[in-house]
Every structure is written in structure tokens, then in C-alpha cells.
Structure 1
Amino acid sequence: MPHVSAARYGKDNVRVYKTDRDEKTGVHNVTEMVVCCLLEGEIETSYTVADNSVVVATDSIKNTIYIKAKEHPVNPPELYASYLGQHFLDTYKHISVVNIDITVKRWTRMVIDGKEHPHSFYRDGDDTRTVEARVTREGIKLKSGMAGLLVLKSTGSAFHGFVRDEFTTLPETWDRILSTSVDASWVWNTLPSVAAAEKQVAQFDKAWADARRITMKTFAEEDSPSVQATMYKMASQILDAAPETAKVLYALPNKHYFEINLAWHKGIKNTGKDAEVYAPQSDPNGLIKVEVSRS
């Protein structure tokens, strides 16, 4: 007899924007995010016997996302996710798990004539702040992160000494372009309640800022022997900077830039130490992942 071994449902791609206004100063802060909220619990009969009495309509989930954004702070997103998840547990006794994914878009305040503008912003990058929350009656599990941070350096990266066999054509290099789109996340120790998340608000923002700073500083300054070695160094530093985290994960795709041999045209030198013009590649690409946990 077939049975439902796992199920979840809800609303995805809910776009939310919020303006926080300081009435005294006239300064506005803006947040734009995309929210996914999926529920688990005693919902099997909605699949097996068409029992809709256990279904919280996905439209109701969407409305709840908006209302809770009005009622509560949306920053840091870890706290907003905790509030949202706890609401569903408190309201619906047959719901046991709330899964929330949040992606925060990047808006940066404009500086006009050397002064920060109170209510004007621009998109200075496609990287996003991310949160994954799994809220249960036993506690709140949070994974924070950043995605889509595209970085490149034109020197200071090498790759040699790797396995060579009959299938190897890649030449060793002691100096190359290194570019990647950073996808990094850090898993927090389980929080017992929303109140515990409220107490940790400052740590959420600090960890995100530290992780972004560490990633860019290490990327820029290290004479990288490999992506693997560099990402391990990044992860280790984030663990040091955020003591309430349990592990750090990185996924770094190689954005390849290949030399172009132009010797066929009037003997132009454009390889090795003479390389200046490269061909950016889209795919296939290397993909390197690591998970670094505390001992």
C-alpha cells in the first residue's frame, strides 16, 4: 500500500518590499526580499483522500507573509523568519514544521554631493543575503548566507601539482585570472525560541558583514594556491568571527578566462606573460564545495 513518506507545501516567490521611516530624521531604510514558506505536519490526508480540511491555503500563507512583515521588523531576516515560522506553529496545531527561505535584494543608499541621501538608493551589485529557517516546536534552525557575489582578480592565483594522467590536458599555471560567484552560508546553533533569536539580532548582522568582508579580503590578498585552499581559509575565519555558528559552507564555481593565441595575425604575442586579451567562458566550469565544521 503506498503511503506519503514526506510532504510540504506553501507559497513560493512572494516578493516583499518594506520602508522603515524615522519620523524624527526623515531617513528611510528599505528592504526588498523574496520569501518562500512551506508547511509540514499532519497533512497526508489532503494527498491521499482529498481532505482539504487540513490545508492552509497558499493564498493565506502569502497574506500572512505580508501581514507579519507589517507587524514585525524584517531586519535581520533571521528574526523575521523566526517570527513568521512561530506564527504558523501557534495558529495551526496540526502544523509541526515551517520551512522558510528568504533572499534579500541589495539596495545601497545614494551619496549625493558627499552626503548620504535620506530616501534614495541604487543597486550596486547582484549579490543577495539569504536565510533558511526550519521552525519546529523543538526549536529554530537557521542557516544564513550570501549568494551571487561575483569577484575577480587578474593575478595572484596559481594551480599546479594536480593529478596528471592520460586524460589530462590542462597545463599547470603559476599565475592566472581567478573569478567566482560566491555562495557561502553558515549554520547557527539551534535556538530554543523566538525570544532567543531576538537576543541574537546583533550577531546575525555582524556575521553577515564579517563573512562578506572576510571573503573579499582573503580573495584579494591571498596568493591563492587553489580555490580549495582559499575557501577553507575563508570558512575558518568565519567560524572564528561568529562563535555561535556550527559550520560554514562554500560553493565556488570557477569562472574561466582562457588565453587567446593571436600569433596567427602578424605574430602578435598574447599568451603566457604576454597575455592581455582573454575569452571569458560560460560553461562547462569547475565547481568546488566545502563544509567546514568546528572540531
Structure 2
Amino acid sequence: MNLMNERALYYGKGAVFAYRTYVKPLLGVRRIPESSFSGRSNIVFGLNAKVSVGGSAFLPSFTEGDNSMVVATDSMKNFIQRHLASYEGSTIEGFIAYVAKSFLEKYPQMETVKIIGEELPFNGAKASSSVESDLVFSRSLNESSEAMIEMVRTENGAMINNHSSSIKKLQLIKVHGNSFVGFIRDEYTTLPEDSNRPLFVYLNINWKYENVTDSYGEDPYHYVAAEQIRDIATSVFHEMETPSIQNLIYLIGCRILERFPQLTEVNFESQNHTWETVVDEIPGTKSKVYTEPRPPYGFQVFSILREDVDKDKPTGTIVENSSQGS
């Protein structure tokens, strides 16, 4: 009997930080119109990993205090960090797949391994006014990429059960050209309709490949970089006049799937953090004054599938990038 099908049973280690200098560069990615991204030097390669392992062999450690089959989580930490030295690829997706498979090869009592790797990005600092340093890097606190892979042990060896690539904590403000009208109005409605509002959104975007090995970056042309997903999101937000956040994320997802046929779906977790107006009109200017919104925020979760993409269907209305204020 496979106890893993009947109960939650796993343990692991989080906040496993690992940094390596001079990982293999990512070169030769497919170029798209929305992005100038052409690759990563990987001079500084950093990640924060979380690993979870499961298997019926670990049940006695919970029920009887028998640790004879337990791999200490400190050992898991060391395993991940030391395998970064032997990794020969160029992406976080490739690294966590390499480590997950290595766990299953090393420890036969592990039936499942799930690893999440969050990028810790570093940007090249300026060596001079026109030259980017290849020695000094600044730690970025902006959006970052993340990858997840779950492998299970089968009779035929390790099999990938689930995977995703992501960009997290993307925050975008569009100062005008957004509307939200036509929604239900009843005795509970206090929100006014707005045909031209600023819109501040938080986005987590996740995507899946038809062939998960494309995510490893071994063939860079079929790899989809988080920087390219970010640039598509900002381009669509700039170009399209949309009536809601729901429609915005749908249009972004369709554009991503159009640009990258190797992907099967794009998933969104979005939040509305649009500022509240303090001063609506400043005489002689197009300016306004805003403050942070109240703590309750709206959110949306939606998946765009390959079947949603129809190249004969327009993906929004293109508007001029006018300098006129709202």
C-alpha cells in the first residue's frame, strides 16, 4: 500500500541559499519584438531553494520516532549547495531538476522530491558612465524568477510529476488609459465607475512547457526567460486599453503563448493595489496626488491555455501612447 496516496507525509528544508560565480552563460535565446533580452552572463548565480521529500519509509519517524531512514534536513542543505559546484547548465530550472534527480539516485527511500528555486538576482554595476562592470554587482530587490519541479520515483526511474517557471513580485503602474465600468451596482456598491483611472497591479506569472526539458536551457532557443515574460507584460499593458485587470492578464497570457509555442499554459495571480486619489485636479497641470489604498485588495487567478490563442482574433485595442493626462 502506498501511504503517500492516503496522507500528507513529507519534510524538508527551506531558505537554502547558494551562490556561485561564473556559471555557464545563457546565450542564444529566441528574440522577441517586446524584449531586448538576449541572455545572461551568470557571473553571479544565486538562488534560495526549498526542498520537500516524501515516501512511506519516513512514516516510522512520525509515528514511532524511528529516524533510521531519515536524511537530516541539514544534509539536504549541504546536498543542494555542493551540487551547485557540479552543475554544468545555465538556468535555475536546469539546476533544480539536476538536484531533484540526484536526490532520488542517492536516497532510495525517497519516493518524491519537490524543489522550488527562487532567483536572487544581481545586476552589473557601473564601472564608468558607459561601461558595465564584470566584477561589481548590485543585489536587486525587484521582481525575480522562480522555478518548481516535482519528481517521483517509478519502476522506470525518476519521472517529472509537475513543473513551472515563474516571475514573482512584478509591480506595474499605468497612469491613465484604464477603465472599470459596467459592473453590478446594488445596495452594497460604493465604488464609482471610472472610465480613465490609474491602475497599479501586482503580478505573479507562471508558465509551463510542453516539454519540460526545454526549461533547462540546454537548447537556449527553446528557453523562455523571465525577463522576456516581464517585457511582454509591460508591453501589453502599455499598448492595450483594457476594461479590467481580468482582461489585461488574459491579453498578456495570449501574447506570451503566441510568442512561445513551446509553452502550454500561463497562469496568473494578480492583485489590484490602485492608489486612492487625494487631489483630483491641480490647476494648470495634468497632475494628481495619490496615497496608498486601504488594506483590502482585489485579486484574480486565471489560466490561459494554448486553446485560447487564436491568431485571427485581436488581442486588444491598440491606443496611442498619448502624453495627455487623465
1:55-103 CA distance string (max 9 Å, x none): 1110110000111111114631000011000011111112121100111
Distance 2:132 2:238 in 1: 28
Distance 2:189 2:23 in 1: 59
Shift of 1:189: 3.0
Among candidates 48, 66, 70, match of residue 34 of structure 1: 48
For 1:294, the equivalent position in structure 2 comes to 306
For 2:17, the equivalent position in structure 1 comes to 15
Shift of 1:150: 1.4
For 1:106, the equivalent position in structure 2 comes to 121
Please tell me whether the aligned partners of residues 36 and 102 of structure 1 are also in contact (alpha carbons under 8 angstroms). Answer: yes
Q: Normalized against structure 2, the TM-score is what?
A: 0.78
Q: Does 1:187 align with 2:208?
A: yes
Distance 1:201 1:78 in 2: 12
Distance 1:124 1:257 in 2: 25
Please tell me whether the aligned partners of residues 142 and 190 of structure 1 are also in contact (alpha carbons under 8 angstroms). Answer: no
The amino acid of 1:203's aligned partner reads H
Please tell me whether the aligned partners of residues 11 and 59 of structure 1 are also in contact (alpha carbons under 8 angstroms). Answer: yes
The amino acid of 1:147's aligned partner reads K
For 2:33, the equivalent position in structure 1 comes to none
Distance 2:134 2:20 in 1: 15
Distance 2:65 2:80 in 1: 26
1:151-189 CA distance string (max 9 Å, x none): 111111111011111111111001111111221001223
Distance 2:276 2:164 in 1: 36
Aligned length: 279
Among candidates 140, 145, 149, match of residue 129 of structure 1: 145
Among candidates 137, 140, 163, match of residue 184 of structure 2: 163
For 1:243, the equivalent position in structure 2 comes to 261
Moved more, 103-112 or 167-176: 103-112
Please tell me whether the aligned partners of residues 23 and 45 of structure 2 are also in contact (alpha carbons under 8 angstroms). Answer: no
Please tell me whether the aligned partners of residues 253 and 286 of structure 1 are also in contact (alpha carbons under 8 angstroms). Answer: yes
Among candidates 184, 193, 199, match of residue 172 of structure 1: 193
Shift of 1:244: 2.5
Distance 1:270 1:169 in 2: 25
Q: CA RMSD in A?
A: 2.6
Structure 1 unmatched runs, 5+: 263-268
- Percent of aligned pairs with the same amino acid: 25
Distance 1:91 1:16 in 2: 20
Q: Does 1:49 align with 2:64?
A: yes
Q: Normalized against structure 1, the TM-score is what?
A: 0.86
What are the residue-to-residue correspondences of 1:211-222 with 2, within 5 Å?
211-222=229-240
Please tell me whether the aligned partners of residues 14 and 49 of structure 2 are also in contact (alpha carbons under 8 angstroms). Answer: yes
The amino acid of 1:56's aligned partner reads V
| Residues 256 and 196 of structure 1, relative CA distance in 2, 3 Å threshold | closer
For 1:258, the equivalent position in structure 2 comes to 276
For 1:203, the equivalent position in structure 2 comes to 222
For 1:153, the equivalent position in structure 2 comes to 174
Shift of 1:30: 0.5
Distance 2:270 2:116 in 1: 21
Q: Does 1:138 align with 2:159?
A: yes
Please tell me whether the aligned partners of residues 210 and 241 of structure 1 are also in contact (alpha carbons under 8 angstroms). Answer: no
Among candidates 92, 102, 122, match of residue 77 of structure 1: 92
Structure 2 unmatched runs, 5+: 25-40, 153-157, 308-326
The amino acid of 1:62's aligned partner reads K
Please tell me whether the aligned partners of residues 258 and 278 of structure 1 are also in contact (alpha carbons under 8 angstroms). Answer: yes
Distance 1:85 1:201 in 2: 21
Other structure's SS at 2:222 match: helix
For 2:241, the equivalent position in structure 1 comes to 223
Among candidates 81, 94, 104, match of residue 66 of structure 1: 81
Please tell me whether the aligned partners of residues 129 and 147 of structure 1 are also in contact (alpha carbons under 8 angstroms). Answer: yes
Relative contact order (C-alpha < 8 Å, sep 6+): which is higher?
2
Shift of 1:280: 1.7
Distance 2:17 2:140 in 1: 20
